[in-house]
Structure 1
């Protein structure tokens, strides 16, 4: 499996972050196997991000380029969750369910939606939980504010991938520093809409065979690069993360190791939990970033762009 383009997106489950590029928002970066690259792009809300990602993928495919698209949020939940919600252990059906429940949100008015959904989901489980965290003043029915208030819900706290990724957060925490609960819900909903748009030309790793797809979606985690993520002067860290991880994966492909990453995942990951691309190969990723191909794909410093700067490219 060889890719011409690698697109990395750092997702956010929150609302609109305004027109000026800021941290802890949605950022995307694209690098190409031929050494070309696009400057990291700031995407102010989920609706804008979905439109930009779909347009970018369509552009790359129209140019005959095969794309690996990585997204920084969990692609699945601990084993047993989908079956409790849907009656079957089908992670992609769960994506479709989230897409129905969580349309893309542009502003603060949509913010309660994901918390209310977490509370409703908790009602499907015995005891209290598994979801938790509510940063709003008013209580959300069924959603405890603190993790230690949960009990007897019957779900594992972490996926296998999360237990092996040092510093990874469980997908049950809906907010707070480092939490990924809101990103997982809203991100899976967004990817379900991408799947509908691109049909058989798109596959999801590790849930589906990916050898013939023109677009392959994969879960990524820029923290695998550790201290190698060094922003350029004036660069937002999120922008540096997508730029450098895309470059590292270009470097991995240049030395022949990227295909290996895409053919290896534990059975529980392939069945329903998902897996972080590159997990367990952190040293190799860093070396790939520092290789000639990785350095070329990382490029030189430039001011961050916004989606308005690139949408007509």
Structure 2
């Protein structure tokens, strides 16, 4: 069974303001094979998202020179619950329209200062003219369209709290947060707002040799022929699914990027990664269209 990829890069992003290393900072894990085809991994920690983008670009350039194909995973949402783009009155394919909207509104400076809370408030103003669906902010960032706490039950009840992929993985200890939550432990809303523009820039720099799954590839099993023309395929991952336990001296985020990269490499080794790109048997045409055009999907969900 031929492997689809030669290397696996996982980026644990952050929405942090200010430069920071260690916990709650940008970690990048790489799993690849040595000259004897033995799998090994390495992790990198950088103090800002700008440094993270530069590191990813340089890692990918090195692999490209060697003719390698790389799977690149990011740990935030690539899409929003169905209907979001329509509520924002955006034109075109919903995921592309959302990416463009976010990229044109987010200001993320080289020192990590960013305007994610102002953008969240703008999303609320345009979608509902209330302080929802986005919620959660430090007191200093709260305002009419963004509150520190979750809105009252039933607020914006016609707006789904989760995408289909989060509903698919919710069981037991696996309880993904909603992309609407901007602040608090495990919140992914801020990371998504600052992360999507970074992925968009990465794909623009790769040109035709880069693709994003499932939006650019279709939600289907991918074979060698599908990835042959690519130097990088970008996917959404959720490291919590891989139950990473830090080794001595390892940070939690560091363990997560390492273990996720290794897990995807091993799936590729056994031929199971190809299937992970396809929908579950229960998916109907409506769900497939929703995932491919707007919501995206977590690889392995």
Residues 2 and 84 (structure 1), Cα distance of their counterparts in 2 relative to 1, 3 Å cut: same
2:74 counterpart of 1:71: yes
Task: Name the residue aligned to 1:246.
Answer: 261
Task: Name the residue aligned to 2:238.
Answer: 221
Residues 117 and 126 (structure 1), Cα distance of their counterparts in 2 relative to 1, 3 Å cut: same
Task: Name the residue aligned to 1:35.
Answer: 38
**TM-score, normalised to structure 1's length?**
0.82
Q: Which blocks of at least 5 consecutive residues in structure 2 are unaligned?
A: 218-225, 281-286
Q: Structure 1 CA distance, aligned partners of 2:159 and 2:249? A: 43
CA apart distance, 1:262: 1.5
CA apart distance, 1:87: 2.9
Task: Name the residue aligned to 1:50.
Answer: 53
- Verify the 8 A CA contact 1:83 1:89 in the aligned structure 2: no
- Verify the 8 A CA contact 1:78 1:158 in the aligned structure 2: yes
Within 5 A, what are the aligned runs for 1:179-218?
Answer: 179-209=187-217, 211=227, 212-218=229-235
Residues 219 and 138 (structure 1), Cα distance of their counterparts in 2 relative to 1, 3 Å cut: closer
What are the Cα deviations for residues 107-165 of structure 1, in whole angstroms up to 9, with x where unaligned?
Answer: 36x24x10000101111123521101111325334112221347237311110111122
Residues 125 and 100 (structure 1), Cα distance of their counterparts in 2 relative to 1, 3 Å cut: closer
CA apart distance, 1:218: 0.4
* Structure 1 residue ranges, 4+ long, deviating more than 3 angstroms after superposition: none
- Which of 270, 277, 282 is the equivalent residue of 1:262? 277
Within 5 A, what are the aligned runs for 1:153-192?
Answer: 154-166=158-170, 167-192=175-200
**TM-score, normalised to structure 2's length?**
0.85
Q: Structure 2 CA distance, aligned partners of 1:49 and 1:16? A: 14
Task: Name the residue aligned to 2:139.
Answer: 136
Tell me how many residue pairs correspond in the alignment: 273
Q: Structure 1 CA distance, aligned partners of 2:68 and 2:81? A: 34
SS at match of 1:137: helix
SS at match of 1:203: strand
Q: Which blocks of at least 5 consecutive residues in structure 1 are unaligned?
A: 280-313
- Which of 100, 103, 112 is the equivalent residue of 2:104? 100
Task: Name the residue aligned to 2:220.
Answer: none
- Verify the 8 A CA contact 1:127 1:153 in the aligned structure 2: no
- Verify the 8 A CA contact 2:209 2:231 in the aligned structure 1: yes
Q: Structure 2 CA distance, aligned partners of 1:103 and 1:17? A: 16
Q: Structure 2 CA distance, aligned partners of 1:147 and 1:61? A: 45
Q: Structure 1 CA distance, aligned partners of 2:181 and 2:55? A: 28
SS at match of 1:147: coil
- Higher mean C-alpha deviation, range 76-85 or range 208-217: 208-217
CA apart distance, 1:36: 4.4
Aligned-pair RMSD on alpha carbons? 1.9
